[in-house]
Amino acid sequence: MSNPEIESVLTEQRTFAPSSEFSAAARIGSMDDYRALYRRSVEEPDAFWAEMAEQLHWFKKWDRVLDWEPPFARWFSGGEINISTNCIDRHLDSWRKNKAAIIWEGEPGEERVIRYQDLHREVCKFANVLKGLGVEKGDRVALYMPMIPELPIAMLACARIGAIHSVVFGGFSAEALKDRINDAQARLVVTADGGYRRGNIVPLKDNVDAAVEGTPTVKNVVVYKRTAHDIKMKEGRDHWWHDLIEGASAECEAARLDPEHPLFILYTSGTTGKPKGVVHSTGGYLLGVHLTSQWVFDLKEDDTYWCTADIGWVTGHSYILYGILSNGATTLMYEGAPNHPQPDRFWEIIEKYRVTIFYTAPTAIRAFIKWGDQWPKGRDLSSLRLIGTVGEPINPEVWVWYSRTIGKDRCPIVDTWWQTETGAILISPLPGATPTKPGSCTLPLPGIVPDVVDKNGESVDDNQGGFLVIRRPWPSMLRTVYGDPERYKQQYWSQVPGVYFAGDGARRDSDGYFWVMGRVDDVINVAGHRLGTMEVESALVSHPYVAEAAVVGKPDDLKGQAIYAFVSLESSHEPSDALMDELKAHVVKEIGAIARPDFIRFTQELPKTRSGKIMRRLLRDIAAGSHTVGDTTTLENFAVLTQLMEEEE
Ligand code: PRX
């Protein structure tokens, strides 16, 4: 049975098998090996996960693998574990103690190499600083930082003492930061004076100053000096990182934590106005990111691995930091923009550090294509052996360009499907085993049981569109929405009863390959980042001139989707270009530059059904250009269109 709302139109036929050379050296080198592992993982899940969990360091082994009281899971009950021990301490009694854990490059060009021993020292010191400021196990700490090594150091320091970190992406505004601090009731904020982006300074501390005006729980702010420009320091509340760290002990015993102890909260957009605080655990999350780093990235001891995400998103948490360091690998971190000072900055970095594994987003690849082949062609990319993507469906033509121009038809591509909520990659090729098809994230990883279903939860036939769901719990799944277990139940486990509802439309082809088509809810995907249309609407409506707003995604060659806002004004106000600019700036202030509407269209009223629901399908069509009427500032009356649509239905 098909789902009439989700129609699949893509009919990509090409397949690309991994080279025999790659397969021969890979951790999982054939489809037979993959199938055997997968079969075991679903036939004997407890035994499988238990065996896998032996790879981690446990202070105390678990009694039970899984307690599942749907939709609440407890993994590895009775065990005791710490993520910072797994990511650092266990590498110190081998030669890895002097191996580079983090290689960092600042946007202005500085380099730092932090070996595992250095990381241990810095993390212990900062953990002691946190303790000195009164941070205790279970307390929330907000991190609003540039992409500098002190961000992972602060995260690992929180993990070491059992504090729960909530990283807020540095591109979010003061207002968005305030909301997230308040929702998490954080008691401390760690920030920097600023960070570098495209040659400019991002004024992080100024934003923190504005945010903490409205956050009663925050008692202290720690400030790392990165840009050394002038900022205000408030006596008694603000402390310089370097002052606190001086004299802090370099020894700090790691807390023995219940595997279910929350490691972090990360806010992500949903269909209602308020972002959701996705809560991840310690033990299950670590197991998920540890294993998938091996399976998907085929991590080896001598790899130099680079994920270009910002740590403010889940990709950075899982695959710049935790999954990579728990495997004792070398992770590269770059602070700034891909086109600063020139559009070949990424390729220059690959050439300079001999990067072997490169993980980025389709939106970035589309920008590379636009900037021109001369930039990657002008650099030596021969060190690369594996390349990957995440964040949105990749168009087959973009995939082919990536394979040819960056991967030189030699590197397998891993198109990895996952979400903030899933913690780790769930559907992806195994680079040494899986033949790939451009545009498909291919097959589920071991232990993961996805399906494509209709509204009643019935599996749909091959090649029919439907909802992507996951039928069984997995270790790195989110545990709840912070402070709102009802929302967790409602959002993820009630839409289709008994299974995890991902919010994506998908189809499965006759080889069992998954093709993800995009969101089925009111979430848009702008440059690989999720934005709830409600969030942008709420921001617009908070402007005093705006009566009502409806936001939809408009297909965009570069960003995947652009933000298209329909706005009706209070009757005393007239549309104008100046007001349009003002409204865009208002959204930037409320949420951040990523949410800036690309288009604003003024309208007398929004088209609604008789029951009062905004007709988003109509608005999406109009935004996409199928019913264009006048330029953007023209006031439009949708009454006629609405009537036509209703007659059609
Ligand atoms: O729609 C899917 C898309 O990104 C969403 C998750 O967004 P977020 O939680 O911000 O996490 C992004 C990084 C993990 C999904 O619901 N998405 C992610 N990866 C893919 C994808 N769509 C298609 N193919 C992918 N590989």
Q: Which atom of ligand 1 is nearest to the CA of 516?
A: 23
CA of 371 to the centre of ligand 1 (A): 24
For ligand 1, whether the C-beta of 227 sits within 6 Å is no
CA of 115 to the centre of ligand 1 (A): 32
Distance CA 418, CA 497 (A): 21
Bridge partners (DSSP) listed for residue 481: 278
C-beta of residue 381 within 8 angstroms of C-beta of residue 347: yes
Question: Which tens digit of pLDDT belongs to each residue from 50-94?
Answer: 999 999 999 999 999 999 999 999 999 999 999 999 999 999 999
Structural domains in the chain, sorted by start: 20-506 (3.40.50.12780), 523-648 (3.30.300.30)
Distance CA 55, CA 77 (A): 17
pTM score, two decimals? 0.92
> Angle, nearest 10°, between helix axes 174-184 and 577-590?
30
Distance CA 181, CA 628 (A): 42
Atom 13 in ligand 1: which residue has the minimum CA distance? Answer: 391
**Strand ranges across the sheet with 450-453:** 450-453, 466-470, 500-508, 514-519
Nearest to 402 by CA among 386, 425, 422: 386
Distance CA 150, CA 148 (A): 5
Position 604 confidence tier, pLDDT thresholds 50, 70, 90 = confident
Q: Which atom of ligand 1 is nearest to the CA of 415?
A: 26
CA of 484 to the centre of ligand 1 (A): 23
> Hey, which of 280, 392, 508 would you mutate to test ligand 1's pocket, going by the most ligand atoms within 8 Å of its Cβ?
392
Question: Which tens digit of pLDDT belongs to each residue from 523-562?
Answer: 888 988 888 888 898 899 889 999 889 999 999 989 899 9
For ligand 1, whether the C-beta of 317 sits within 6 Å is no
Nearest to 329 by CA among 306, 303, 308, 354: 303
Sequence letter at residue 477: M
Residue 633 is predicted with a pLDDT of 43
Residue 641 is predicted with a pLDDT of 63
Task: Give the count of alpha carbons within 13 A of 357, CB side only.
Answer: 24
Q: What's the angle, vertex CA 585, arms to CA 587 and CA 338, rounded to 5? A: 90
First to last CA, the chain: 22
Question: Which tens digit of pLDDT belongs to each residue from 117-169?
Answer: 999 999 999 999 999 999 999 999 999 999 999 999 999 999 999 999 999 99
Distance CA 164, CA 184 (A): 10
Atom 12 in ligand 1: which residue has the minimum CA distance? Answer: 391
Nearest to 431 by CA among 446, 448, 444, 412: 412
Q: Where are the alpha helices (DSSP H) in 455-564?
A: 485-493, 533-541
Position 365 confidence tier, pLDDT thresholds 50, 70, 90 = very high
Atom 5 in ligand 1: which residue has the minimum CA distance? Answer: 419
> Angle, nearest 10°, between helix axes 616-624 and 639-648?
110
Check residue 76 and give left, alpha or beta (phi > 0: left; psi -120 to 50: alpha): left
CA of 385 to the centre of ligand 1 (A): 24
Nearest to 329 by CA among 297, 300, 371, 289: 300
C-beta of residue 172 within 8 angstroms of C-beta of residue 179: no
CA of 124 to the centre of ligand 1 (A): 34
Look up residue 22 and give its two tokens.
Answer: 């790659």
Distance CA 429, CA 512 (A): 12
For ligand 1, whether the C-beta of 276 sits within 6 Å is no
CA of 380 to the centre of ligand 1 (A): 30
H-helix or E-strand containing 648?
helix 639-648
Distance CA 120, CA 207 (A): 30
H-helix or E-strand containing 164?
strand 164-167
Least confident of 441-455, 490-504, 593-607: 593-607
Residue whose structure tokens are 């992500």? 268
Distance CA 75, CA 576 (A): 56
Percent of the chain with pLDDT over 70: 93
Q: Please check the confidence at residue 513 and state whether its pLDDT lies above 70.
A: yes
Distance CA 164, CA 130 (A): 12
For ligand 1, whether the C-beta of 530 sits within 6 Å is yes
Least confident of 5-14, 520-529, 640-649: 640-649
